[in-house]
Structure 1
């Protein structure tokens, strides 16, 4: 087991144990950094992560190109995706609701 540490939106420190595979994924997908061989640190609070994705994508929906203010997982969490910068994009509410837990290819094919 690996210890993951981070900060809540209110600045409180938290920690939880996660398995090695998840720790590797979070580091590889730029959501966490290695502190030492048994600890990683989450880079963003939920609020900071949301702001980062929306700003990075310039509040533009990944799917339709209109104004977006929600976050969507390219690989849905229900299908094994994680909340990482590489797996999340800005989406408008309409596209986010319509995509739901579909794969991107399924959604774009409709």
Structure 2
């Protein structure tokens, strides 16, 4: 059964780890670029993308079974590149929040 979708949250994406739908701004993105698969911090890279909750449990689930869910989303990207991108995301999620960059994709500077 699908989760009810709020109508005012903007674009909604599905996590490749837990399969929950969440607002796009709450998810991290892996992108398949001509240079390979990488963690797309700003969610601006061109190419196929896979969205994932920035939680260790989702990252672990996405990496299981030969990284199958991510490979399907990225249309057959090499498993070694996917695992490297997941490791980069895992390190950032595990880092203290004071050093973690913002996940939101806003281009406007904050008023301060």
Compare the two structures and name the one with the higher strand fraction: 1
Q: TM-score, normalised by structure 2?
A: 0.25
More relative contact order in 1 or in 2 (CA 8 Å, sep 6+)? 2
Larger radius of gyration: 1
